[in-house]
Structure 1
């Protein structure tokens, strides 16, 4: 890198708190793509253990691979490490034909690795987020090295969608670890072995991860020599690095969009996030037991005004966990903005005795300027009706540590601002709302236990008739709207910006940063 450019990079980092530019000099001489792949709500900085991953799949998919994955349009599930799959008529047996592939250390990938991974993912001692999601699996059989058969004790309509997030792991490299050791092992960040188009080379703490091309990848050697994932403290720092030419891709917020929209040096990528943002009511604290209080929160917030002013209209109001028209039935309560009604509901519920004006911690992992503005607006609206919330933004690992603690302090998160995918597969909401998914089994960290909602989710997951699935998920929507486990806010668009120097580069604003088949082996860059 020229001295002038290097000075400019360090100046930008110092000004905006960006990670210092410490990528290896050799990487700059070869065909290297550098991006902020974990910037924004779809990323997860320092996310290395795929069993515990709740985001950052765009990056994880570069060196790990699942059996199946979404296509890049998020419209269908297709093969990844499985070249093909079939399902028996009663939806209790899934047969996967496996690709002929080797691990990055040269060992063969076989059906043993599939069974090993599923067994690990079902074992809560590994720190897995899959235990409850995979509890319908009764066994994994291995007729031969190229075939894996997953058998279920009951139908699970969300199984394939779950498997898109389950990265297959090397049995030969990890079998020597106990499940508890894997939960905290440094292996994930030092010498992980995958089957993807790029191999892990090094992680420089809080600065970047470097991958190198796998010469023997089954779809051919990648067109780029290296991929580097730079870490940034905030989106502003990543945008500054993008403008300076230090990186070629990053997530951007909606207020950055006008800067790039008509700039021929960049390609703006826009799409629906498939994530519903919500205020989550912790059911282990007494504040929210009366549904009138939860209804008051909904009526107190002018969701459309926030969308118009802070999202520039690029979001859709959500009255349940879904906004896709075919999943939203008629007759839902729209919870129109009505502060007077909110005050009346709070008075009827006895809010003065329940809490009054005592501050309520409002925890979030969203730490972008836009999220801060959104939360400030909501805070002001709630204050007008007598609910005093105090935002607390932390990074994702801290957030997860609080909500998934073995013995959580529920007073640390009586209310959260978070997001959960509402598609492309509607079963995704199950992990946060079903009573059977309470930790440590699953991700229902708010300890929601609403029989009508759980019944609706169970019925949807057990449905084997594709023509009935839409009706089943409409029932889920109705139950959410009536019971209000969350105060659902909106589903917003998301944006990425890529340098036009990148060729055949694929990124989608997908929930949790993927997963989908982006084919990184095809990514290239003009020097």
Structure 2
């Protein structure tokens, strides 16, 4: 079967700038590097000695574990990206690049993928990286005893074959659009360490918290609970030893503390919450930080647990959204650094559908819909139905001040239509544990989703993702299931966009979430830290080349 250029349905809208070889393989672009080599020779000479120092990355959210097949939170994923490597990564425009794979090729029908692996890669303990590690790692979610949340992008894999020590072949049951930008990005784990661990016990293994071993640019040194995670440079990193000596992932209690530490130089890189943008810009005017901003591939929401009878009526969910003044949240809490959302997705990716049903702020319409759904106020003004009061707990994390403020606004505005809400703030790791599978221990949450390198929404809305996946709401809709199952098989990007748009419109009509706003992201770093620049695709792109002067 003839090999083909990389299928349009696989690559994002910037596909034309990916380099394709004449034999049909796609690999890292070396021509651009060669063309720039002479121009950069002087600059490289000037900067090659500028190494050393620690990147102190400040955050209010602690990680939970370091295993990409079991973690679901951003902090854990960030650190995993420093320790481990996948077959591919993406650049700042979502274009796939080789990582552990030097190149790859695939058959015309998209069912057989062959990856050619780098031969100069060592695990952090000195062992050789080989195809055995890839076969082992990508087989984890396929095992009958796997109960982690990351099974979806592996379901279409029928076979993983070791061709030789540095070649791996994947055979798929059907074309899968996100295979290269989602599945092949999953980090590879060491078979020589974990190969004998029963899959049923892998999620709880001490490897995940005490001694993770990867092939990435930084090696795990220590985790001081509630304070920091320390990583040190991997001098044997296959793309070259990092210029930074170490990364300190520093956990601070709140944004006020984080901003204070940024100002005095105790932290030299952090994301900036919208309410602190003006403070960050003043620090930039004083020469203390550099701020970069742009649209994030994410959205914030209030999510309803449809396993709870309170939220199983679509009219009720629509009424809840009518009761929340999203524009006021954006202006008062975010200082305007966000765009009101009416549905899932993000304007930062190519699949975004702005034409979805909208449920604008209208408390009277909220009351009307609740009455239609059978809810009537009692003598205390609290809505009741069949003797049950409309009251629930709204959970969020104490690590995020914006979400706390959103919860308070929602509590007040819902009270105005007769709904009693109490707020429960949880430390980050407790929040993740309670709201994730298999517990799903929440009524409603204030949260956010980062969409990832492919806009496939199957993770969030497909019925198959309810039990152990990322469908936190427990949302199920037969037509949405059909559309989402179809979208990943499509070879035409415009057709795929149309299908995702239809699914998003149905989800917006159903309102399993009150979609609040699309996020505007910002990054602040010390002026002597070179490399960071905000982007929606890959915040820590080529971190081994970052340096401090």
Q: TM-score band, normalised by the shorter chain? A: 0.7 to 0.9
399, 421, 434: which one aligns with 2:450: 421
Name the structure 2 match of 1:499.
526
Structure 1 CA distance for aligned equivalents of residues 449 and 541 of structure 2: 22
Residues 219, 493 of structure 1: CA spacing in aligned structure 2 closer, same or farther, 3 A cutoff? same
Match of 1:334 among 342, 351, 358: 358
- The correspondence for 2:483, drawn from 445, 449, 456, is 456
- Cα distance change of structure 1 residues 423 and 223 upon mapping to structure 2, 3 Å threshold: closer
Unaligned stretches of 5+ in structure 1? 1-29
Aligned to 1:115, the other structure's residue is in SS state: helix
Q: Is the 8 A contact 1:367 1:395 kept in 2?
A: yes
> Helix, strand or coil: the match of 1:211?
strand
Look up the match of 2:287.
264
Task: Report whether the alignment pairs 1:386 with 2:386.
Answer: no
Give the CA deviation at 1:88.
2.5
Deviations 1:28-81 (A, max 9, x none): xx93324235x25xx55243222222223333211211111121x243222211
Cα-to-partner distance string for 1:373-424 (whole Å, 9 max, x where unaligned): 1221122122211222222222332223223354x3x6x4121222223455
Match of 2:114 among 88, 95, 116: 95
1:80-479 alignment, distance < 5 Å: 80-100=99-119, 101-123=121-143, 125=145, 128-163=148-183, 166-261=186-281, 262-324=285-347, 327-329=351-353, 332-351=356-375, 352-353=384-385, 357-365=389-397, 367-406=399-438, 408=439, 412-422=441-451, 424-427=453-456, 429-440=457-468, 442-479=469-506
Normalising by structure 1, we get a TM-score of 0.86
- Supply the RMSD in Å over aligned alpha carbons: 2.3
Q: Deviations over 1:430-459 (max 9, x none)?
A: 11210011222x222322111122122112
CA contact (8 A) 2:310 2:390 kept: no
Q: 1:523 to 1:127 in 2, by over 3 A?
A: farther
Shift, 1:366, TM fit: 6.3
2:149–2:437 contact (8 Å) kept in structure 1: no
Distance across 2 between alignment mates of 1:499 and 1:461: 41
Write 1 or 2 for the structure with the bigger share of helix. Answer: 1
Q: Indicate how the Cα distance of structure 1 residues 472 and 364 shifts in structure 2: closer, same or farther if over 3 A, else same.
A: same
Higher mean alpha-carbon deviation, 116-125 vs 238-247, is at 116-125
The CA distance in 1 between the partners of 2:310 and 2:251, in whole Å, is: 38
TM-score by length of 2: 0.82
> How far does the alpha carbon of each residue in 1:242-268 deviate from its partner, in whole angstroms, 9 at most, with x for none?
222222112221222212212312111
Q: Retained in 2: the 8 A contact 1:435–1:448?
A: yes
When residues 355 and 363 of structure 1 are mapped into structure 2, their CA distance, relative to the original with a 3 A threshold, is farther
More contact order relative to length (CA 8 Å, sep ≥ 6): 1
Structure 1, 185-194 or 429-438: larger mean CA deviation: 185-194
> Do the aligned partners of residues 374 and 509 (structure 1) sit closer, same or farther apart at CA in structure 2, a change above 3 Å counting?
farther
Measure, in 2, the Cα distance between the counterparts of 1:81 and 1:48.
19
Task: Give the corresponding residue for 1:520.
Answer: 543
Q: SS of the residue aligned with 2:209?
A: helix
Cα distance change of structure 1 residues 155 and 282 upon mapping to structure 2, 3 Å threshold: same
User: Can you list the C-alpha shifts for 1:449-485, whole angstroms capped at 9, x where unaligned?
Assistant: 1112212211212212223111111111221122222
Counterpart-to-counterpart distance in 2, 1:486 and 1:88:
40
Measure the CA separation in 2 of the matches of 1:182 and 1:452.
35
Give the distance between the partners of 2:292 and 2:334, measured in 1 at CA. 16
Distance in 2 (alpha carbons) for counterparts of 1:366 and 1:453: 34
Q: Distance in 2 between matches of 1:47 and 1:74?
A: 28
Asked if 2 retains the 8 angstrom alpha-carbon contact of 1:273 and 1:509, the reply is yes
Number of aligned residue pairs: give it: 484
Q: Partner of 2:182: helix, strand, or coil?
A: helix
Q: Which residue of 2 aligns with 1:35?
A: 56
Is contact 2:294-2:521 (8 Å) kept?
yes
The gaps in structure 2 that reach 5 residues or longer are 1-50, 376-383
Distance 1:355 1:366, change over 3 A: farther
Deviation at 1:493, TM superposition (A): 0.9
